[in-house]
Amino acid sequence: MFSFGQTYKANTSVVFRSSFLKNLGVVVTAGALLLQPLSPAFAKTSRIKDIVAIEGVRENQLVGYGLIVGLNGTGDGLNNSPFTKQSLIAMLERLNVNIRGENVNTGNVAAVMVTASLPPFANQGSKIDVNVSALGDASSLQGGTLLVTPLIAADGEVYAVAQGGVNIAGFSVEGDAASITQNIPTAGRIPNGGIVEREIDFQLEDLQQIRLALRNPDFTTARRIAQAINGFTNSTLAKAENSASVVLRRPSNYDGTIVDLITDIEQLPIQPDQPAKVIISERSGIVVMGADVRVSSVAIAQGNLTLKINETPQVSQANPFADQGETVIVPRTDVSANVGEDVKLTVLQSGVTLQELVTGLNQLGVKPRDVITILQAIKAAGALQAEIEVM
């Protein structure tokens, strides 16, 4: 743990409020306290700011419905997308153009859903990126321009307005008998296409305490964070509330805000802990195993029964100039079976590490999908000291 009676060196300095340190009886040289890992054990540490999220410091999702114009005949078919036609008529009426009841037939307009993320503490007038996705049967949004679209949050209030030219990373070309499509031409992005119109009222600096939410909840990691903060400040400012959060309290003799306190402690190194877990996906054949996975003594044999069937039908017909005869197809089937004659039985000793387990399975020539079955069998035998999570 960290104590103010020790000296640390680091590439990144952590400056604590001098008046607060004096109140705690701490002497600070040159106004800064520098941190540096003192042992190889710290080589795998992470900063607090990288493993936790601050309560209230979060993004907010925005969504809107709009029209993209200027498409080169790749927009929605108005007969197939009535919402596009209705939106087009309503938009033109707001611009004092009345076409209601007229036959409208254009392929240069597409209805889209517009989405964006409002960053925390975004100021009014700042710009954000927006994404657009076709809602109707438009084949491409290339070259289109999004018209003014209000973006609302879950509370129904408008927080931003989007407009601008659409950038897409794909294209679609087709002819009478063939077509080529690369990536997704019906979805695009407008960099800096949204302007923030309303700020979220959240005064972080006025809070007397906050919660640090762990991105990967773990009791040991939460306790280590609290101990590191308390050791660094030589005071009981932090307490592990549960496996997912640590409560950080602003002391009464601290002359800064809670923002200053966060800045002072977010560079502290922590060695995160994690449970032994194996993540498998049978659909894609992906296997991910944590470093703490251990296997008790167990013997493994792997083999597959492979059946190979070849159909080579032959044609049989009568001899030339025969009085009578008939041409028939004679089936020819070749069946072979591989029962795994080269299957090996491998013994894994107790306490086998992840690297030893992977090496042993590779020596058996086991493929990823077979590894999934083997791991499930080892777990069923009670020899896998880890949790298996199936995606």
The model's pLDDT over 323-341, given as tens digits with 9 standing for 90+, comes to 666 777 777 666 554 545 5
The values of phi and psi at residue 387, to 5°, are -90, 135
Whether 94 maps to a domain, the answer reads: yes
pLDDT digits (tens, 9 = 90+) for 248-263: 998 888 888 888 889 8
Q: Are residues 45 and 66 in the same domain?
A: no
Co-location of 44 and 77 in the same domain? no
Do 129 and 51 lie in a common domain?
no
Give a three-class secondary structure readout of 221-242.
HHHHHHHHHHHHHCCCCEEECC
Q: Please check whether residues 42 and 78 belong to one and the same domain.
A: no
Compute the average pLDDT of residues 14-20.
Answer: 43
Is residue 261 domain-shared with residue 351, that is, in the same domain?
Answer: no
Domain closes at, from 130, 163, 196 = 196
286 plus 217 within the same structural domain? no
- Are both 151 and 229 inside the same structural domain? no
Query: Does a structural domain hold residue 8?
Result: no
Tell whether 74 and 191 lie within a shared domain.
Answer: yes
- The predicted pLDDT at position 330 comes to 73
- Answer yes or no: do 332 and 302 share one domain: yes
Phi, psi of 281 (to 5 degrees): -130, 105
**Among residues 196, 224, 239, which one ends one of the domains?**
196
Please state the pTM of the whole predicted model: 0.66
Question: Taking the CA of residue 195 as centre, how many other CA atoms within 13 Å lie in the half-sphere pointing to its CB?
Answer: 7
Domain-embedded: residue 1: no
Q: Is residue 159 part of a domain?
A: yes
Residue pair 145/68 in contact by the 8 Å Cβ criterion: yes
Up-side HSE of residue 70: CA atoms within 13 Å toward CB?
Answer: 10
Residue 4 lies in a domain: no
Residues 74 and 189 in one domain: yes
In a domain, 5, yes or no: no
Are 211 and 300 in the same domain? no
The SS3 assignment for 339 reads coil
The Cα 142–Cα 170 span in angstroms is: 8
Cα 18 from Cα 15, distance rounded (Å): 8
Contact 72, 108 (CB under 8 A): yes
Encoding tokens for residue 285?
């054949």
The label of the residue with tokens 């030589």 reads 234
Task: State which residues form the domain around 238.
Answer: 13-56+205-270
**Alpha-carbon gap, residue 297 to 360, rounded angstroms:** 13
Give residue-wise pLDDT tens across range 76-90.
Answer: 988 888 899 899 999
Cα–Cα distance, 159 to 307 (Å, whole number) = 63
Structural domains in the chain (count): 3
- Per residue in 35-73, is it b (16+ CB within 10 Å) or e — as a string? beeeeeeeeebeebeebbebbeeeebebebebbbebbee
Residues 39-50: tens digit of each pLDDT? 444 447 889 999
Q: Is pLDDT of 247 > 60?
A: yes
In a domain, 152, yes or no: yes
User: Is residue 321 assigned to a domain?
Assistant: no
| Dist CA 71 CA 334 (whole Å) | 58
Statement to judge: residues 187 and 302 lie in one domain = no
Q: Which of 176, 196, 216 is the last residue of a domain?
A: 196
- Which residues sit opposite 178 in a β-bridge? none
